[in-house]
Amino acid sequence: MGSFVLKRLESIDIASSSTRPEDSHLKDRQTSSFADDRKQGRTLALEDLHLAYGQREVLRGLNLNVPSGQFLAIVGRSGVGKSSLMRLIVGLDKPTSGRVSIDGALVNGLQKSVKLLFQDARLLPWQTVLSNVGIARSAGWRDAAMKALSDVGLADRHNDWPAVLSGGQRQRVALARVLVGNPNVLLLDEPFGALDALTRADMHVLLEKLWLRERFTALLITHDVAEAVALADRVVVMREGRVVFDVDVNAERPRLRTSPELAELQSRILREV
C-alpha cells in the first residue's frame, strides 16, 4: 500500500519523499533540543536561484544569505515568488537552477530542521488540538505538545476539536505545532494575513517572545511593511524574482510601532516595493 500512497502524492505534485533525511538525523535533533544551548539557528544561503513553472519565470537569480538566528522579513507584492521561495527552502520544490543550502549543506528533499507556518492553520479537523500539535508523534510527544501549547497560551484547549477554535487560536495551535519540532529555521508564509488587527498584534508579541527565547533563524514573508519593521532584524524587498532592497533594522526590542525612525524606514521600504 505504501507505494500506492507515494504514487498518489507524486500524482498531485507533492515532492517525492524518497529523499527524506534518515531517522538518525531526527535523533540528533532531539538530543540537541534538550541541551541547554538554545542558540539553534542555522545559516541559510540562497545562490543564484532560478525557478520557472513552464514559461513563467518566478525566481530570476535570487541571492540571499541569512546568518544564524536572524529574523529576516521578506516583503513584496503578491506574485513576486515569495511563497515559491519558501517551498524551495523547506524542500517541497526544487529550483530550476541555483542552490539552497542550510549550514553549508545542500537542500535536497524535505528538511527536518526547517518548519513552515502556512498562511492557513492547516489543522487536521479530526484530531484534537493536542494531537495536532504532536502530529509528528516523536517520542514523548504529549509532554512536548502540552509545553508548546502553554507557550502559545492554549494549554486549556488541548482536548478541543479545531473546529471550535477561533481563527487566531487555530493559528496559535499551528505555531505550537512548528515549535514542537524545535525548528532551526522557521519559515512564516504570511501567517497572520487572515487575522484581525488586534489578534495580529498579539501574535507579533508572542512570536517575538518565542524567537528571542529559541533563537531560530526566522524568515517572515509579509506584504505588511509595518509588520516587517516591527519584528525583523533585517528587511529585504523582492521584486521580479530578485532581491532589490536590503536594509537592517537596528531598533531596540520591544519596539514601539509609533517611533519616528521606524516610520521613516517603513516609508523607505514602501518606495521600493
Partner 1 sequence: MSSPRLLQGTVERVAPWLVPIAILILWEAGARSGFIEARTLPAPSQVAVAFWESAKSGELGRNVLISFERAMIGLAIGGGLGFLLGILTGVSRHAELLLDSGLQMLRNVPHLAIIPMVILWFGIDETAKIFLVAVGTLFPIYLNTYHGIRTIDRGLIEMAEVNGLGKFAIFWRVLLPGAMPSVLVGLRYALGIMWLTLIVAETISASSGIGYMTMNAREFLQTDVVVLGILVYALLGKAADSATKLIEHRVLAWHPAYHDRAAAN
Residues that bind partner 1 (CB under 8 A): 1-12, 14-15, 17, 20, 26, 90, 92, 110, 112, 115-116, 118, 120, 122, 124-127, 135-137, 161-164, 177, 181
Closest CA to 71 of 195, 242, 255: 255
Is 127 or 266 the residue whose CB approaches partner 1 more closely? 127
Contact 113, 32 (CB under 8 A): no
Which one, 131 or 265, has the nearer CB to partner 1?
Answer: 131
As a whole number of angstroms, the distance between CA 53 and CA 253 comes to 40
In 103-233, at which residue ranges do the beta strands (DSSP E only) sit? 105-106, 114-117, 185-189, 217-222
232: Cβ contacts below 8 Å, ≥ 6 apart: 71, 72, 73, 220, 249
In whole angstroms, how close is the CB of 12 to partner 1 at the nearest point? 6
Which of residues 3 and 258 has its CB atom nearest to partner 1 in the complex? 3
For residue 128, give the 3-state DSSP assignment: coil
CB of 26 to partner 1, least distance (A): 8
Report in angstroms how near the CB of residue 178 gets to partner 1 at its nearest.
8
Nearest residue (CB) to partner 1, 122 versus 239: 122
- State in angstroms the smallest separation of the CB of 181 from partner 1: 7
Minimum distance of partner 1 from residue 113's CB (angstroms): 11
> Given the complex with partner 1, which of 110 and 226 has the nearer CB atom?
110
Q: Distance between CA atoms of 134 and 56, rounded to whole angstroms?
A: 38
Closer to partner 1 at the Cβ: 92 or 251?
Answer: 92
Question: Which CB, 163 or 197, lies closer to partner 1?
Answer: 163
Tell me how far CA of residue 171 lies from CA of 40, 43, 82, 202, in angstroms.
Answer: 23, 26, 20, 12
CB of 89 vs partner 1, minimal distance in Å: 11
- The three cell numbers locating residue 23: 531517522
* CB 135, CB 124: distance < 8 Å: yes
**Phi and psi based region of residue 7 (left: phi greater than 0; alpha: psi -120 to 50; beta: remaining):** alpha
In the complex, the smallest distance separating the C-beta of residue 161 from partner 1, rounded to whole angstroms, is 5
